């Protein structure tokens, strides 16, 4: 039944043209409300469901009925950028809403670090799989929005993990470390790694901490920390190579400066 309601709703909605009015150009939640109000089938399907915000001026609504999941997304339309693909990807990701709620509850129980929570959620979304999703995307000029409507069978949606364990938190922490290092945010990285090392005997974290020292020419601190780093325990080949290269350069610079001072 819901398959038929969904398809009829899409067909009717795409044929409808609402008059453009300045007062009608509003937020994403209002755009979704009007999309649903314009069609009886969608109104019945999403009856009782709440529209939720996503970041700045984006919103979605989700429902699961008869082992089928449905979502509607509204994102701002941009003049020079086609937002259709982004809207479709975002819509498909919202089909994982039940699992997302579960992973967030698990995260909140284990950490209040916003940066770490975002990193874990990014890993989690990247691991999710949705097979045979159907998506319809179109513009609503009257709202200045792109609307994407999608559905998939509940059985066709899977994720790699629904609970957060120490290994996942460690992976996320090292993701954050790499991002901070790549952006030369050495002060922030140094503080994070110091705090992390206080609770975890991680050679990877120590390598990142040493890299912050090396890049800030704090050679004594870096050399002292090097004695406590087990490079064979660093699984990330890039990190091991970067650390060794930076350490070799620092040793050369350190001894060259010592010779010149004498």
Q: Which residue has the higher pLDDT, 56 or 34?
A: 34
Joined together, the tokens standing for residue 164 give 């957060």
Mean pLDDT to the nearest integer, 32-58: 92
Cα–Cα distance between 42 and 9 in angstroms, integer?
6
Q: Which residue has the higher pLDDT, 63 or 1?
A: 63
Mean pLDDT to the nearest integer, 212-217: 95
pLDDT at 30: 92
In which order are the strands placed within the sheet that holds 59-65?
52-53, 59-65, 68-76, 145-153, 134-140
pLDDT at 262: 61
The per-residue DSSP string of 91-154 comes to HHHHTTHHHHHHHHHHHHHH---HHHHHHHHHHHHHH-EE-S-EEEEEEETTTTEEEEEEEEEG
Q: Which residue has the higher pLDDT, 2 or 14?
A: 2
Joined together, the tokens standing for residue 153 give 């069978």
215 pLDDT higher than 90: yes
5 pLDDT higher than 50: no
With beta carbons less than 8 A apart as the criterion, state whether 44 and 5 touch.
yes
Cβ-based neighbours of 85, under 8 Å, separated by 6 or more: none
Q: pLDDT tens for residues 175-208?
A: 999 999 999 999 999 999 999 999 999 999 999 9
Q: pLDDT tens for residues 166-176?
A: 999 999 999 99
Q: What are the φ and ψ backbone dihedral angles of 80, each rounded to 5 degrees? A: -100, 0
19 pLDDT higher than 60: no
Q: pLDDT tens for residues 68-122?
A: 999 999 999 887 788 899 999 999 999 999 999 999 899 999 999 999 999 999 8
Q: pLDDT tens for residues 222-246?
A: 999 999 998 888 999 999 999 999 9
4 pLDDT higher than 90: no
């Amino acid at each position: 039944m819901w398959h038929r309601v969904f398809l009829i709703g899409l067909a009717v909605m795409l044929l409808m043209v609402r008059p453009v009015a300045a007062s009608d150009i509003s937020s994403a939640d209002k755009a979704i409300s009007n999309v649903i109000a314009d069609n009886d089938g969608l109104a019945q399907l999403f009856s009782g469901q709440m529209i939720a915000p996503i970041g700045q001026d984006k919103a979605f609504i989700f429902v699961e009925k008869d082992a089928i999941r449905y979502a509607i997304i509204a994102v701002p339309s941009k003049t020079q950028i086609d937002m259709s693909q982004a809207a479709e990807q975002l819509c498909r990701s919202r089909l994982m809403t039940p699992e997302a709620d579960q992973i967030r509850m698990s995260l909140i129980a284990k950490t209040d670090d916003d940066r770490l929570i975002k990193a874990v959620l990014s890993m989690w979304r990247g691991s999710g799989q949705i097979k045979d999703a159907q998506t319809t995307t179109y513009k609503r000029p009257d709202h200045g929005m792109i609307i994407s409507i999608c559905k998939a069978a509940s059985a066709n949606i899977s994720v790699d993990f629904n609970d957060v364990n120490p290994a996942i938190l460690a992976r996320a922490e090292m993701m954050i470390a790499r991002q901070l290092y790549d952006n030369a945010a050495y002060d922030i990285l140094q503080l994070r790694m110091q705090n992390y090392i206080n609770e975890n005997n991680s050679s990877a974290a120590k390598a990142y901490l040493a890299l912050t020292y090396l890049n800030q020419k704090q050679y004594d601190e870096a050399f002292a920390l090097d004695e406590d780093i087990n490079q064979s325990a660093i699984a990330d080949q890039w990190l091991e190579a970067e650390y060794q290269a930076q350490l070799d350069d620092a040793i050369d610079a350190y001894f060259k400066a010592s010779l010149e001072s004498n």
